[in-house]
Amino acid sequence: MTMTPHSPGQRSTQARTVLVNARLFDPASGLDQIGGVLIADGKIADLGSHVGADSCGNAEIIDCGGKMLAPGLIDMMVSTGEPGYEHRETLASASRAAAAGGVTTIVCMPNTDPVIDDVALVDFILRRARDTALVHAHPMAAMTKGLLGEEMAEIGLLREAGAIAFTNGKTSLANARVMRNVLAYAKDFDALIVHHLEDPHLAQDGVMNEGEIATRLGLRGITPAAETIMLERDLRLVELTGARYHAGQISCRASLELIGAAKARGLPVTAAVSINHLTLNENDIGSYRTFFKMRPPLRAEEDRLAMVEGVASGTIDVIVSAHDPRGAEGKRRPFAEAADGAVGLETLLAAALRLYHNGEVDLATLLKALTANPAKLLGLASGQLIKGAPADLVLVDLAAPWVVEPERLCSKSKNTPFDGARLEGRVLLTLVAGRTVYNYADQQQAA
What is the greatest pairwise CA distance in the chain?
68
CATH code of 232's domain: 3.20.20.140
Q: pLDDT tens digits for 195-237?
A: 999 999 999 999 999 999 999 999 999 999 999 999 999 999 9
Structural domain total, the chain: 2
**Residues 168 and 222 placed together within one structural domain of the fold:** yes
Residue 3 counted as domain residue: no
Residue 229 counted as domain residue: yes
Mean pLDDT, rounded, for 242-253? 98
| 189, amino acid identity | F
Q: pLDDT tens digits for 353-367?
A: 999 999 999 999 999
Residue 125 counted as domain residue: yes
Beta bridge partner(s), residue 264 = none
Amino acid 1: pLDDT: 29
Residue 56 has pLDDT above 90, yes or no: no
Q: Is 349 helix (H, G, I), strand (E, B) or coil?
A: helix
Rounded percentage of the chain residues whose pLDDT exceeds 70: 97
Q: pLDDT tens digits for 184-198?
A: 999 999 999 999 999
Amino acid 5: pLDDT: 33
Mean pLDDT, rounded, for 296-308? 98
Residue 6 has pLDDT above 50, yes or no: no
Q: Identify the helix (H) or strand (E) that includes residue 193.
A: strand 192-195
* C-alpha–C-alpha distance, residues 16 and 53, integer Å: 12
Beta bridge partner(s), residue 396 = 68, 427
Q: Which of 94, 164, 167, 137 is nearest to 411 (CA)?
A: 94
The sign of the CA dihedral 364, 370, 371, 376 is: positive
**Residues 290 and 149 placed together within one structural domain of the fold:** yes
**Residues 195 and 291 placed together within one structural domain of the fold:** yes
Continuous H helices in 200-316: 212-217, 225-241, 253-264, 275-279, 301-313
Mean pLDDT, rounded, for 439-446? 85
Q: pLDDT tens digits for 101-120?
A: 999 999 999 999 999 999 99
**Residues 127 and 169 placed together within one structural domain of the fold:** yes
* C-alpha–C-alpha distance, residues 135 and 392, integer Å: 9
| 249, amino acid identity | Q
Q: Domain of residue 41: give its range.
A: 8-69+389-446
CA angle centred on 42, ends 372 and 108, rounded to 5°: 50
**Residues 85 and 125 placed together within one structural domain of the fold:** yes
Q: Which residues contact 151 (CB under 8 A, 6 or more apart)?
A: 144, 145, 178
**Residues 101 and 187 placed together within one structural domain of the fold:** yes
Phi and psi torsions of 287, nearest 5°: -95, 65
